[in-house]
Structure 1
Amino acid sequence: MAGRRISKLADLRQAAGHTQQSFVAAFVREATRLGISAAVSERQLRRWENESPPPLPHPGQQTVLEAMLGVPLAEMGFDVPSHRVTASGPVSEAGAVKRRTFVAETGALAASALTPRRPGPRIGAIDIGHLRERLDDLYRTDHMVGSVPAMAQARRIEGAITQALSSASYTSRIGCELQTMLAELHGHRAWYGYDGGRIEEGRAACLEALVAAQLVDDPLLQISVLETLVLLAIKAERAWEAGSAVENAYRLASHVGAGPTVHLVIALRDANVATVAGDFPGARRALSRAVTYQARTDCDTDAPNWAKFAGAFEVDYATADMYVRANQPKRAVPFLRASVRGIGGDYARNSASYRVKLARVLLEAREAEEACAEMSHVLESCGGISSPRLLDRMRGFQEAADRLDCPEARDCSARIREVARGSAT
């Protein structure tokens, strides 16, 4: 009898997905949430689960235990005096008795909620590891061959995660990791919307990703979504939304003590917002902060995957963009050249995009021959990249080159038309 009652608490704890150590930590969080001064040690939890009879929790501990496990204390294996027995019945019928009440048949309902009884397989740490590898590979796919194949890959991963969440059996910790990965996927879809020119679709994915990241309480993930939202808001001509996203990203980064790489990404987005607004003093201030953060990234050993693209070449590129917006293409050219030289081989899509930008700015700076040479490099190397944004930039170069009367420009235009036709088929 005593053994059955003692094991009941352990069974409920394990059904909730807790070790003794994690249960103690969760107990403290629940007590704080309820505003109750109560705690439990691992030693005391072991006594509750193993001694016969187990020592009775004090009233504050009782309230927290009942809130955590969803059953009255008596159903956890404790001998509870009559004046401490919690009623099981509708809250509206509790009358003057100030007790926590539970739905009838609480024990059975709680067990089914804590341990999903579904026909699907059980998801564990090994499965999470495989999904994480597939998710992390999205960055490589996007950087090397573009957002179109990455989007197809992301849809397959999202299908696997949503199927697991809806039909598999898993602990609360595994469920949280699945939801976190789903939030990351929404963030990826937001970027693919930006790269594909589907701005409203991207903004919708951003909002979905933000909600999901908030639900799993992951501030760094929220920042990654906000930095994409900045780009989408700029494209949608919603400057106020882009500015608010930057401010919220700074706030979250400060709150969690984010490292210099994350701050570098935010500073670059800050510069984007100021540049588009024509606030060139503000852009210079943001770029100055970016330089400071970039100088410290070598010591940043814990940068998240989504921020690792940021480096000196991104600062140079943002500086060049400021000069382009200020109608000073000649001043932009050296920064764009440095950006093209500095970008690594793992970023083929961005490398091609930056070269097209350099070629276009060289045209504006009346350096047509060099501009066409840069464009030729892109056309020779971009065959395996599928990125609507890159293709749009190439078409923009073609339109500008069509206005020039020189053989190099005509040749570039013809080759770009050929690439565009191939992408359309």
Structure 2
Amino acid sequence: MADSGVSRLAGLRKAAGYTQVTFAAAFAREAARLCIDASVSVRQLRRWEGESPPPLPHPGQQAVLEAMFGLPLAEMGFDVPPHRRSTVERIGDDGEVKRRAFVTGSGAIAAATVLPEQRGPRLGASEVAALRTRLVDLYAVDHRSGGIPAKARAQQLEQQITRILSSSVYTSRIGRDLQTMLCEIACHRAWFGYDGGPLEEARAACMEAMTAAQLIDSPLLQVRALNTLSLLSVEAGRTWEAASAVESAYGLARRAGAGPTVHLVISLREASAATHAGDLPGARRALSRAVSYQGRAGTDTDVPRWARFAGPVEVDYATAAYYAREAQPARAVPFLRSAVAGLGGGYTRNTAWYRARLAQTLLDTSEVEEACHEMAGVLDACGGVSSDRLRRRLRSFGEAAVRLDAAPARDVIERIRETTRGESG
């Protein structure tokens, strides 16, 4: 076979958006859908693309290749004997090579590469990149201003992407990117709802995210959604559900080959679920796992953006929660101080969260003056943060301080009332 034939298969693969590795995986999925016992290794694909003449695929492989590209094997650059001419060539009503409407012509590639019969503006990679930039910006809005304003932006972006999917022309690869973004937005909305409420909406978004992640076959996004479900379940007092979500997340992460950082996030959720359930031995085991994963996180080469927050700060915070549940607030204080000190710039909401927890814990140790100093710092910094969970922490501190009836607390109590007055929680 001529060299042009060899390059033809490689060109078809690249035009469909596959590397040699991802093509081998896609080949296996297509074979499973067709119930054909066939596979291809990267090594064999390299021979098909690089040798002249290349080895002829066996009949099962031929059927899968023709289904993937919507072309007869001969048009992929192989020398095909007459008895192996495929049914793809016979599709049509006049004996000519008229492939189904999903193939745009003999020069086109796979049936699934361009969505059929669509009208509207054509969407390209640059437009998708702009949408993804807005998606990434949601992290900054959440860290800086809290879940309530971030959720409003997420809903606007979700509506725009949904309209694009319904009314634009795009390749299947871009369509998958858009659907992945919708899944990520649902994950965002679940988290934003955990922060800003209402929790029922957050739970619905979480279920939506898990379904979407299954449809696009993204186990890591399923892990992300399950991590948030665990938090929501703890908030609702459903600690058994939180533990189940954690176990499912571990299983998916292992099957996906996730690195230590993703496992660190799951172990932190495991520690939270066990701590709130009163399973202190289980919480200690989870924290030990977290320390181990955190120590290996430096070896990670590809950490999902949603997991990049996890590190020593979160381990310290989870350890403090454990000691608080063990009724040892004095042992929790140094871990909370370390967590607050370790947060970098841009984490306005989390800094307020952690300092509010530190203030409450200091109050529990009868360090009233220092507790009020910390809470005053929270009130000074949280004016631009809109977070229902933070409001609840402020109110909880105020109620505890009122019971103490201590002079250093009176000014802070009044400031908390002013800050939270008229806000739903």
Residue type of the partner of 2:100?
G
* 2:114 alignment counterpart: 115
Shift of 1:114: 5.2
| CA-CA distance at 1:279 after TM superposition | 0.9
- Kindly indicate whether the alpha-carbon contact (under 8 Å) linking 1:16 and 1:172 is maintained by their aligned counterparts in 2: no
Alpha-carbon shift at residue 71 of structure 1 (Å): 7.7
The answer (yes or no) to whether the contact 1:66–1:73 under 8 Å persists in 2 is: yes
Equivalence for 1:144: 144
- 1:308 equivalent to 2:308? Answer yes
Question: 1:233, CA displacement in angstroms?
Answer: 1.0
Pair 1:337–1:46, CA change in 2 (3 A): closer
Q: What is the CA distance between 1:24 and its match in structure 2?
A: 6.0
Aligned to 2:230: 230
| TM-score where L is the length of structure 2 | 0.82
Q: 1:36 is matched with which residue?
A: 37
CA 1:37–1:161 in structure 2 vs 1: closer, same or farther (change >3 Å)? same
Once the two structures are superposed, residues 164-216 of structure 1 have per-residue CA deviations (whole angstroms, 9 ceiling, x without a partner) of 21111111111111111111100000011111232222111111111111222
Which residue of structure 2 lines up, in the alignment, with residue 398 of structure 1? 398
Moved more, 341-350 or 179-188: 341-350
- Aligned-residue Cα RMSD (Å) equals 3.4
Which amino acid letter does the alignment assign opposite residue 144 of structure 2? M
Structure 1 residue 239 corresponds to structure 2 residue 239: yes
- When residues 62 and 405 of structure 1 are mapped into structure 2, their CA distance, relative to the original with a 3 A threshold, is closer
**What residue identity is the alignment partner of 2:36?**
G
Aligned to 2:419: 419
Query: CA offsets per residue over residues 144-178 of structure 1, 9 Å max, x none?
Result: 11111111111121122112211111111111111
Q: Is the 8 A contact 1:73 1:80 kept in 2?
A: no
Letter paired with 2:123: I
Question: Which residue of structure 1 lines up, in the alignment, with residue 410 of structure 2?
Answer: 410
How far apart are residue 393 of structure 1 and its match? Answer: 0.8
Does structure 1 retain, via aligned residues, the 8 Å contact 2:113–2:173? no
Matched with 2:170 is: 170
Cα shift at 1:30: 2.7
Partner of 1:216: 216
In 2, Cα distance between equivalents of 1:73 and 1:23: 20
Gaps of 5+ in 1: 1-5, 90-104
**Superposition pairs of residues 42-191 of structure 1, within 5 angstroms:** 59-69=59-69, 86=87, 107-108=100-101, 111=104, 115-116=114-115, 117-191=117-191
Q: Provide the TM-score with structure 1 as the length reference.
A: 0.82
**Count of residues in correspondence between the two structures:** 397
Query: How many angstroms apart in 2 are the aligned matches of 1:391 and 1:224?
Result: 25
Structure-2 change in CA distance of 1:321 and 1:126 (3 Å): same
Q: Deviations over 1:32-54 (max 9, x none)?
A: 65333465857857999xx9xxx
| Partners of 2:401 and 2:356 in 1: CA distance | 12
**Cα distance in 1 between the residues matched to 2:20 and 2:283:** 49
Distance 1:301 1:70, change over 3 A: closer
Which residue of structure 1 aligns with residue 107 of structure 2?
A: none
The unaligned stretches of length 5 or more in structure 2 are 93-97, 105-110
- Equivalence map 1:272-287=2 (5 Å): 272-287=272-287
Check conservation: 1:75, 1:107, Cα contact below 8 A: no
Displacement of 1:302 in angstroms is: 2.2
The question of whether the paired residues in 2 share the 8 Å contact of 1:187 and 1:209 is answered with yes
Question: How far apart are 1:56 and its partner, in Å?
Answer: 9.4
Compute the displacement of 1:76 (Å). Answer: 9.8
User: What is the deviation of 1:80?
Assistant: 9.2
Q: 1:270 aligns to what?
A: 270
User: Is the CA contact (8 Å cut-off) linking 1:230 and 1:269 kept in structure 2?
Assistant: yes
Distance (Å, rounded) in 2 between the aligned partners of 1:23 and 1:297: 26
* Percent identity (aligned): 57
Amino acid at match of 1:36: D
